[in-house]
Structure 1
Protein backbone atom coordinates (compact mmCIF):
# COMPACT_ATOMS: atom_id res chain seq x y z
CA UNK A 1 0.00 0.00 0.00
CA UNK A 2 1.34 3.44 -0.93
CA UNK A 3 1.92 5.89 1.90
CA UNK A 4 0.61 9.15 0.46
CA UNK A 5 2.12 11.12 3.32
CA UNK A 6 5.65 10.44 2.05
CA UNK A 7 5.01 11.05 -1.66
CA UNK A 8 6.76 14.21 -2.89
CA UNK A 9 4.38 16.62 -4.60
CA UNK A 10 5.19 19.96 -6.24
CA UNK A 11 2.47 22.53 -6.98
CA UNK A 12 3.19 25.58 -9.12
CA UNK A 13 0.99 28.66 -9.57
CA UNK A 14 0.55 28.98 -13.34
CA UNK A 15 -2.03 31.75 -13.61
CA UNK A 16 -4.77 33.57 -11.76
CA UNK A 17 -3.65 36.16 -9.19
CA UNK A 18 -2.10 39.27 -10.72
CA UNK A 19 -0.43 40.52 -7.54
CA UNK A 20 3.20 39.52 -6.97
CA UNK A 21 4.04 36.69 -4.61
CA UNK A 22 3.98 32.95 -4.21
CA UNK A 23 1.25 30.76 -2.76
CA UNK A 24 3.24 30.78 0.48
CA UNK A 25 3.18 34.60 0.45
CA UNK A 26 -0.58 34.60 -0.01
CA UNK A 27 -1.08 32.11 2.79
CA UNK A 28 1.13 34.13 5.14
CA UNK A 29 -0.88 37.28 4.42
CA UNK A 30 -4.18 35.58 5.23
CA UNK A 31 -2.78 33.84 8.30
CA UNK A 32 -1.53 37.15 9.69
CA UNK A 33 -4.85 38.83 8.95
CA UNK A 34 -6.80 36.08 10.72
CA UNK A 35 -4.45 36.09 13.70
CA UNK A 36 -4.68 39.86 14.00
CA UNK A 37 -8.47 39.63 14.06
CA UNK A 38 -8.44 37.10 16.91
CA UNK A 39 -5.98 39.21 18.91
CA UNK A 40 -8.17 42.29 18.59
CA UNK A 41 -11.41 40.43 19.36
CA UNK A 42 -9.99 38.66 22.42
CA UNK A 43 -8.00 41.59 23.79
CA UNK A 44 -5.41 41.36 26.57
CA UNK A 45 -7.54 39.75 29.21
CA UNK A 46 -9.25 37.41 26.79
CA UNK A 47 -5.88 36.13 25.57
CA UNK A 48 -4.62 35.71 29.12
CA UNK A 49 -7.76 33.84 30.12
CA UNK A 50 -7.52 31.61 27.06
CA UNK A 51 -3.86 30.81 27.71
CA UNK A 52 -3.97 30.66 31.53
CA UNK A 53 -3.36 26.91 31.75
CA UNK A 54 -0.61 27.03 29.13
CA UNK A 55 1.09 29.92 30.92
CA UNK A 56 0.96 28.10 34.26
CA UNK A 57 2.64 25.06 32.70
CA UNK A 58 5.16 27.16 30.75
CA UNK A 59 6.20 29.22 33.75
CA UNK A 60 6.53 26.06 35.84
CA UNK A 61 8.90 24.71 33.18
CA UNK A 62 11.02 27.89 33.29
CA UNK A 63 11.03 28.01 37.10
CA UNK A 64 12.16 24.38 37.38
CA UNK A 65 14.77 24.86 34.64
CA UNK A 66 16.17 27.84 36.52
CA UNK A 67 16.21 25.91 39.82
CA UNK A 68 18.06 22.93 38.35
CA UNK A 69 20.50 25.20 36.50
CA UNK A 70 21.39 27.09 39.70
CA UNK A 71 22.04 30.39 37.93
CA UNK A 72 23.90 28.96 34.91
CA UNK A 73 22.80 29.94 31.42
CA UNK A 74 23.47 28.76 27.87
CA UNK A 75 23.74 31.42 25.17
CA UNK A 76 22.73 31.42 21.53
CA UNK A 77 22.97 34.25 19.01
CA UNK A 78 21.03 35.12 15.86
CA UNK A 79 22.70 37.65 13.53
CA UNK A 80 20.71 39.68 11.00
CA UNK A 81 22.17 41.89 8.27
CA UNK A 82 20.02 44.76 7.02
CA UNK A 83 20.41 47.03 4.01
CA UNK A 84 18.56 50.28 3.43
CA UNK A 85 17.95 51.28 7.06
CA UNK A 86 20.27 52.55 9.78
CA UNK A 87 20.35 51.16 13.29
CA UNK A 88 19.35 54.60 14.60
CA UNK A 89 16.22 54.64 12.45
CA UNK A 90 15.31 51.14 13.53
CA UNK A 91 15.89 51.73 17.23
CA UNK A 92 13.88 54.96 17.15
CA UNK A 93 10.99 52.98 15.69
CA UNK A 94 11.44 50.30 18.35
CA UNK A 95 11.45 52.88 21.16
CA UNK A 96 8.13 54.22 19.92
CA UNK A 97 6.64 50.74 19.51
CA UNK A 98 7.64 49.65 23.01
CA UNK A 99 6.25 52.88 24.42
CA UNK A 100 2.99 53.17 22.56
CA UNK A 101 2.31 50.62 19.81
CA UNK A 102 1.74 47.14 21.16
CA UNK A 103 -0.02 46.08 17.96
CA UNK A 104 3.21 46.56 16.01
CA UNK A 105 5.10 44.46 18.54
CA UNK A 106 2.53 41.67 18.48
CA UNK A 107 2.33 41.59 14.68
CA UNK A 108 5.98 40.59 14.35
CA UNK A 109 5.44 36.99 15.41
CA UNK A 110 2.46 34.60 15.49
CA UNK A 111 3.38 33.51 19.02
CA UNK A 112 3.34 37.02 20.52
CA UNK A 113 0.34 37.33 22.82
CA UNK A 114 1.01 40.27 25.15
CA UNK A 115 3.76 42.91 25.10
CA UNK A 116 3.00 45.73 27.48
CA UNK A 117 4.63 47.86 30.20
CA UNK A 118 3.69 47.19 33.80
CA UNK A 119 3.99 49.36 36.93
CA UNK A 120 7.53 49.59 38.22
CA UNK A 121 9.22 50.04 34.87
CA UNK A 122 9.31 46.43 33.69
CA UNK A 123 7.77 45.06 30.51
CA UNK A 124 5.47 42.04 30.41
CA UNK A 125 5.87 39.57 27.57
CA UNK A 126 3.63 36.58 26.92
CA UNK A 127 5.11 34.46 24.15
CA UNK A 128 6.46 31.03 23.39
CA UNK A 129 9.79 29.86 24.76
CA UNK A 130 10.21 26.79 22.59
CA UNK A 131 6.90 24.89 22.82
CA UNK A 132 6.01 26.55 26.14
CA UNK A 133 3.73 29.59 26.42
CA UNK A 134 5.30 31.76 29.12
CA UNK A 135 4.61 35.08 30.82
CA UNK A 136 7.70 36.90 32.03
CA UNK A 137 9.01 40.37 32.77
CA UNK A 138 11.95 42.16 31.20
CA UNK A 139 13.97 44.51 33.40
CA UNK A 140 16.82 46.81 32.46
CA UNK A 141 15.80 46.75 28.79
CA UNK A 142 17.15 49.77 26.93
CA UNK A 143 20.37 50.03 28.95
CA UNK A 144 23.73 48.30 29.15
CA UNK A 145 24.00 48.84 32.89
CA UNK A 146 23.38 45.30 34.13
CA UNK A 147 26.52 43.80 35.65
CA UNK A 148 26.25 40.47 33.85
CA UNK A 149 26.15 42.14 30.43
CA UNK A 150 29.43 43.97 31.00
CA UNK A 151 31.18 40.62 31.48
CA UNK A 152 29.31 38.59 28.86
CA UNK A 153 31.45 36.64 26.42
CA UNK A 154 29.03 37.63 23.66
CA UNK A 155 29.55 41.37 24.25
CA UNK A 156 30.97 42.90 21.05
CA UNK A 157 33.33 45.91 20.72
CA UNK A 158 31.51 49.16 21.39
CA UNK A 159 33.31 50.75 18.44
CA UNK A 160 31.49 48.37 16.08
CA UNK A 161 28.26 47.90 18.05
CA UNK A 162 27.56 51.16 19.91
CA UNK A 163 23.88 50.38 20.55
CA UNK A 164 23.65 47.73 23.26
CA UNK A 165 20.60 46.69 25.27
CA UNK A 166 20.46 44.06 27.98
CA UNK A 167 17.79 42.61 30.19
CA UNK A 168 17.03 39.99 32.78
CA UNK A 169 13.95 37.88 32.08
CA UNK A 170 12.17 37.03 35.32
CA UNK A 171 8.93 35.71 36.71
CA UNK A 172 6.68 37.66 39.06
CA UNK A 173 8.23 35.87 42.03
CA UNK A 174 11.64 37.26 41.03
CA UNK A 175 13.06 34.03 39.56
CA UNK A 176 15.48 34.93 36.76
CA UNK A 177 14.65 32.55 33.91
CA UNK A 178 16.70 34.09 31.10
CA UNK A 179 18.59 37.04 29.76
CA UNK A 180 18.76 39.01 26.54
CA UNK A 181 21.59 40.97 24.95
CA UNK A 182 20.95 42.81 21.69
CA UNK A 183 23.68 44.74 19.89
CA UNK A 184 23.43 46.92 16.79
CA UNK A 185 26.11 48.42 14.60
CA UNK A 186 25.91 50.35 11.34
CA UNK A 187 27.49 49.12 8.12
CA UNK A 188 28.16 50.86 4.82
CA UNK A 189 24.61 50.23 3.57
CA UNK A 190 22.61 49.40 6.69
CA UNK A 191 23.26 47.69 10.01
CA UNK A 192 23.96 44.38 11.70
CA UNK A 193 21.93 43.08 14.63
CA UNK A 194 23.49 40.57 17.02
CA UNK A 195 20.68 39.07 19.10
CA UNK A 196 21.69 36.85 22.01
CA UNK A 197 19.36 34.96 24.31
CA UNK A 198 20.42 33.16 27.49
CA UNK A 199 18.32 30.28 28.81
CA UNK A 200 18.91 28.07 31.84
CA UNK A 201 21.34 25.25 31.02
CA UNK A 202 18.70 22.69 31.98
CA UNK A 203 16.54 23.78 29.04
CA UNK A 204 16.77 21.32 26.12
CA UNK A 205 18.85 22.48 23.18
CA UNK A 206 15.81 22.58 20.91
CA UNK A 207 14.20 25.20 23.17
CA UNK A 208 17.21 27.46 22.58
CA UNK A 209 17.15 26.66 18.85
CA UNK A 210 13.51 27.65 18.58
CA UNK A 211 14.16 30.95 20.30
CA UNK A 212 16.94 31.73 17.84
CA UNK A 213 14.35 31.19 15.10
CA UNK A 214 11.91 33.31 17.09
CA UNK A 215 14.45 36.15 17.12
CA UNK A 216 14.94 35.87 13.36
CA UNK A 217 11.21 36.11 12.65
CA UNK A 218 10.32 38.91 15.06
CA UNK A 219 13.29 41.17 14.39
CA UNK A 220 13.04 40.71 10.62
CA UNK A 221 9.41 41.80 10.77
CA UNK A 222 10.15 44.70 13.11
CA UNK A 223 12.90 45.87 10.76
CA UNK A 224 10.56 45.67 7.77
CA UNK A 225 7.91 47.63 9.71
CA UNK A 226 10.47 50.26 10.69
CA UNK A 227 11.58 50.62 7.08
CA UNK A 228 7.96 51.06 5.98
CA UNK A 229 7.72 54.06 8.31
CA UNK A 230 10.74 55.65 6.55
CA UNK A 231 9.66 55.85 2.90
Structure 2
Protein backbone atom coordinates (compact mmCIF):
# COMPACT_ATOMS: atom_id res chain seq x y z
CA UNK A 1 0.00 0.00 0.00
CA UNK A 2 1.44 3.37 -1.01
CA UNK A 3 1.60 6.12 1.58
CA UNK A 4 0.67 9.69 0.81
CA UNK A 5 3.52 11.81 -0.57
CA UNK A 6 4.41 14.43 2.10
CA UNK A 7 5.16 17.04 -0.56
CA UNK A 8 3.26 19.77 1.25
CA UNK A 9 6.10 20.49 3.69
CA UNK A 10 9.81 21.28 3.36
CA UNK A 11 12.29 18.43 2.89
CA UNK A 12 14.88 17.99 5.63
CA UNK A 13 17.79 15.52 5.77
CA UNK A 14 19.33 14.61 9.13
CA UNK A 15 22.56 12.71 9.73
CA UNK A 16 21.81 9.97 12.26
CA UNK A 17 24.80 7.60 11.95
CA UNK A 18 28.09 7.14 10.17
CA UNK A 19 30.84 9.74 10.58
CA UNK A 20 32.25 10.33 14.04
CA UNK A 21 32.25 13.69 15.77
CA UNK A 22 29.65 16.39 16.40
CA UNK A 23 29.90 18.10 12.99
CA UNK A 24 26.92 18.48 10.69
CA UNK A 25 26.70 17.78 6.95
CA UNK A 26 27.06 21.53 6.43
CA UNK A 27 30.35 21.39 8.34
CA UNK A 28 31.56 18.54 6.12
CA UNK A 29 30.68 20.47 2.98
CA UNK A 30 32.43 23.61 4.23
CA UNK A 31 35.61 21.65 5.00
CA UNK A 32 35.72 20.04 1.55
CA UNK A 33 34.86 23.30 -0.22
CA UNK A 34 37.68 25.10 1.57
CA UNK A 35 40.13 22.30 0.81
CA UNK A 36 39.22 22.31 -2.88
CA UNK A 37 39.41 26.10 -3.11
CA UNK A 38 42.81 26.14 -1.41
CA UNK A 39 44.10 23.62 -3.94
CA UNK A 40 42.87 25.63 -6.93
CA UNK A 41 44.40 28.83 -5.53
CA UNK A 42 47.73 27.10 -4.98
CA UNK A 43 47.80 25.49 -8.41
CA UNK A 44 46.81 28.68 -10.28
CA UNK A 45 48.94 31.07 -8.23
CA UNK A 46 48.34 34.82 -8.01
CA UNK A 47 49.07 35.60 -11.67
CA UNK A 48 47.06 32.62 -12.84
CA UNK A 49 44.06 33.85 -10.90
CA UNK A 50 44.47 37.36 -12.30
CA UNK A 51 44.67 36.00 -15.84
CA UNK A 52 41.64 33.79 -15.30
CA UNK A 53 39.56 36.66 -13.88
CA UNK A 54 40.82 39.46 -16.15
CA UNK A 55 37.53 39.95 -18.02
CA UNK A 56 35.50 39.78 -14.79
CA UNK A 57 37.78 42.36 -13.15
CA UNK A 58 37.44 44.73 -16.11
CA UNK A 59 33.66 44.44 -15.88
CA UNK A 60 33.62 44.82 -12.09
CA UNK A 61 35.89 47.85 -12.08
CA UNK A 62 33.77 49.45 -14.79
CA UNK A 63 30.75 48.96 -12.52
CA UNK A 64 32.51 50.61 -9.56
CA UNK A 65 33.82 53.48 -11.69
CA UNK A 66 30.37 54.16 -13.14
CA UNK A 67 28.79 53.88 -9.69
CA UNK A 68 31.22 56.43 -8.26
CA UNK A 69 30.51 58.79 -11.16
CA UNK A 70 26.73 58.39 -10.96
CA UNK A 71 26.77 58.87 -7.18
CA UNK A 72 28.62 62.18 -7.42
CA UNK A 73 30.95 61.34 -4.55
CA UNK A 74 28.19 60.26 -2.15
CA UNK A 75 28.35 56.97 -0.27
CA UNK A 76 25.91 54.77 1.62
CA UNK A 77 27.22 53.02 4.71
CA UNK A 78 26.29 49.79 6.47
CA UNK A 79 27.73 48.09 9.54
CA UNK A 80 28.31 44.49 10.55
CA UNK A 81 28.69 43.97 14.31
CA UNK A 82 30.48 40.92 15.73
CA UNK A 83 30.78 40.00 19.40
CA UNK A 84 33.76 37.87 20.42
CA UNK A 85 34.32 36.00 23.66
CA UNK A 86 37.68 34.81 24.91
CA UNK A 87 39.93 37.23 23.01
CA UNK A 88 40.78 40.91 23.44
CA UNK A 89 40.72 43.51 20.69
CA UNK A 90 44.42 44.32 21.13
CA UNK A 91 45.35 40.65 20.75
CA UNK A 92 43.35 40.39 17.55
CA UNK A 93 44.74 43.56 16.01
CA UNK A 94 48.29 42.55 16.88
CA UNK A 95 47.66 39.29 15.04
CA UNK A 96 46.15 41.17 12.09
CA UNK A 97 49.23 43.35 11.77
CA UNK A 98 51.27 40.20 11.30
CA UNK A 99 48.67 38.43 9.16
CA UNK A 100 48.66 41.18 6.54
CA UNK A 101 52.17 40.09 5.62
CA UNK A 102 50.91 36.59 4.70
CA UNK A 103 48.65 36.53 1.66
CA UNK A 104 47.62 32.94 2.27
CA UNK A 105 46.14 33.83 5.65
CA UNK A 106 44.22 36.73 4.13
CA UNK A 107 42.89 34.66 1.25
CA UNK A 108 41.75 31.80 3.47
CA UNK A 109 39.29 33.98 5.37
CA UNK A 110 36.76 34.34 2.55
CA UNK A 111 36.02 32.17 -0.51
CA UNK A 112 35.73 35.28 -2.69
CA UNK A 113 39.21 36.58 -1.84
CA UNK A 114 41.38 36.15 -4.93
CA UNK A 115 44.38 38.45 -4.38
CA UNK A 116 45.57 40.41 -1.33
CA UNK A 117 49.08 41.70 -1.83
CA UNK A 118 51.10 44.48 -0.19
CA UNK A 119 52.44 46.98 -2.73
CA UNK A 120 55.75 48.81 -2.47
CA UNK A 121 54.00 52.13 -1.77
CA UNK A 122 52.27 50.75 1.33
CA UNK A 123 48.87 50.18 -0.26
CA UNK A 124 47.22 46.76 -0.46
CA UNK A 125 45.83 45.46 -3.75
CA UNK A 126 42.64 43.47 -3.17
CA UNK A 127 40.81 41.39 -5.76
CA UNK A 128 37.48 40.23 -4.36
CA UNK A 129 33.76 40.41 -4.90
CA UNK A 130 31.79 43.58 -4.32
CA UNK A 131 28.33 42.09 -4.48
CA UNK A 132 28.28 39.95 -7.67
CA UNK A 133 31.13 41.95 -9.22
CA UNK A 134 34.78 40.82 -9.06
CA UNK A 135 36.84 43.99 -8.60
CA UNK A 136 40.48 44.97 -8.18
CA UNK A 137 40.98 47.93 -5.87
CA UNK A 138 43.43 49.29 -3.34
CA UNK A 139 43.32 49.96 0.38
CA UNK A 140 45.10 53.16 1.35
CA UNK A 141 46.92 54.12 4.53
CA UNK A 142 45.19 52.77 7.67
CA UNK A 143 47.05 55.26 9.88
CA UNK A 144 45.22 57.80 12.02
CA UNK A 145 45.64 60.62 9.50
CA UNK A 146 43.68 58.57 6.96
CA UNK A 147 40.64 58.91 9.24
CA UNK A 148 40.07 62.61 8.56
CA UNK A 149 37.04 61.88 6.39
CA UNK A 150 35.46 59.77 9.16
CA UNK A 151 35.50 62.48 11.83
CA UNK A 152 31.90 63.45 11.05
CA UNK A 153 30.64 59.98 10.14
CA UNK A 154 27.50 59.02 12.10
CA UNK A 155 29.00 55.54 12.49
CA UNK A 156 31.98 56.88 14.47
CA UNK A 157 31.76 55.47 18.00
CA UNK A 158 33.03 57.01 21.28
CA UNK A 159 36.78 56.69 21.71
CA UNK A 160 36.37 55.62 25.33
CA UNK A 161 34.37 52.54 24.33
CA UNK A 162 36.02 51.81 20.98
CA UNK A 163 39.64 52.95 21.26
CA UNK A 164 40.89 50.81 18.37
CA UNK A 165 39.95 52.48 15.10
CA UNK A 166 41.16 52.21 11.52
CA UNK A 167 39.87 53.78 8.33
CA UNK A 168 40.84 53.82 4.69
CA UNK A 169 39.61 54.72 1.25
CA UNK A 170 39.07 52.09 -1.43
CA UNK A 171 40.28 53.28 -4.82
CA UNK A 172 40.94 51.98 -8.31
CA UNK A 173 44.32 52.06 -10.03
CA UNK A 174 43.36 55.36 -11.70
CA UNK A 175 42.70 56.96 -8.30
CA UNK A 176 38.88 56.84 -8.43
CA UNK A 177 37.56 56.48 -4.86
CA UNK A 178 34.99 53.69 -4.94
CA UNK A 179 34.41 53.09 -1.25
CA UNK A 180 35.55 53.54 2.32
CA UNK A 181 36.01 51.33 5.34
CA UNK A 182 35.81 52.26 9.02
CA UNK A 183 36.52 49.45 11.51
CA UNK A 184 36.27 49.96 15.27
CA UNK A 185 36.99 47.59 18.13
CA UNK A 186 36.26 47.82 21.84
CA UNK A 187 36.83 45.42 24.70
CA UNK A 188 33.97 43.95 26.71
CA UNK A 189 33.93 41.89 29.90
CA UNK A 190 33.96 38.69 27.85
CA UNK A 191 36.10 39.74 24.89
CA UNK A 192 35.51 42.48 22.34
CA UNK A 193 33.05 43.95 19.87
CA UNK A 194 33.85 44.64 16.22
CA UNK A 195 31.96 47.37 14.36
CA UNK A 196 32.78 46.95 10.68
CA UNK A 197 31.44 49.69 8.42
CA UNK A 198 31.73 49.80 4.66
CA UNK A 199 30.69 52.72 2.46
CA UNK A 200 29.88 52.14 -1.20
CA UNK A 201 28.76 54.58 -3.90
CA UNK A 202 25.08 55.27 -3.37
CA UNK A 203 24.08 54.04 -6.82
CA UNK A 204 25.49 50.56 -6.08
CA UNK A 205 22.21 49.77 -4.37
CA UNK A 206 21.24 48.12 -1.10
CA UNK A 207 21.72 44.57 -2.37
CA UNK A 208 25.41 45.11 -3.19
CA UNK A 209 25.95 46.81 0.17
CA UNK A 210 24.19 44.01 2.06
CA UNK A 211 26.33 41.38 0.34
CA UNK A 212 29.47 43.16 1.52
CA UNK A 213 28.16 43.21 5.08
CA UNK A 214 27.86 39.42 4.79
CA UNK A 215 31.37 39.33 3.31
CA UNK A 216 32.64 41.21 6.39
CA UNK A 217 30.91 38.75 8.73
CA UNK A 218 32.59 35.75 7.10
CA UNK A 219 36.12 37.16 6.77
CA UNK A 220 36.39 38.79 10.18
CA UNK A 221 34.93 35.80 12.01
CA UNK A 222 37.49 33.57 10.31
CA UNK A 223 40.34 36.00 11.06
CA UNK A 224 39.29 36.20 14.72
CA UNK A 225 39.17 32.42 15.00
CA UNK A 226 42.57 32.16 13.30
CA UNK A 227 43.99 34.70 15.75
CA UNK A 228 42.65 32.69 18.67
CA UNK A 229 44.06 29.46 17.23
CA UNK A 230 47.52 31.01 16.75
CA UNK A 231 47.47 32.26 20.32
CA UNK A 232 47.25 28.62 21.36
Give TM-score scaled by structure 2 length: 0.95
Whether the 8 Å contact between 1:87 and 1:186 is mirrored in structure 2 is yes
Alignment of 1:2-81 (within 5 A): 8-81=10-83
Q: Is the CA contact (8 Å cut-off) linking 2:146 and 2:168 kept in structure 1?
A: no
Instruction: Give SS of 2:122's match.
Output: coil
CA-CA distance at 1:62 after TM superposition: 0.1
1:194-213 aligned within 5 A: 194-213=195-214
2:150 maps to 149
Pair 1:182 & 2:170 matched? no
**RMSD (Å), alpha carbons:** 1.3
Give distance in 1, aligned partners of 2:64 and 2:8. Answer: 36
User: How many angstroms apart in 2 are the aligned matches of 1:209 and 1:51?
Assistant: 23
Give 3-state SS (helix, strand or coil) of 1:19's partner: coil
C-alpha distance in 1 between matches for 2:87 and 2:107: 21
The Cα offsets for residues 30-62 of structure 1, whole Å up to 9 and x where unpaired, read as: 000000000111111000000000000000000
TM-score normalized by the length of structure 1? 0.95
CA contact (8 A) 1:139 1:169 kept: yes
Aligned pairs, number:
226
C-alpha distance in structure 1 between counterparts of 2:185 and 2:105, whole Å: 20
Specify the structure having the higher radius of gyration (Cα).
2
Change (3 A) 1:82 1:105: same
Is this contact kept in 1: 2:89–2:185, CA < 8 A? yes
Cα distance in 2 between the residues matched to 1:34 and 1:6: 36
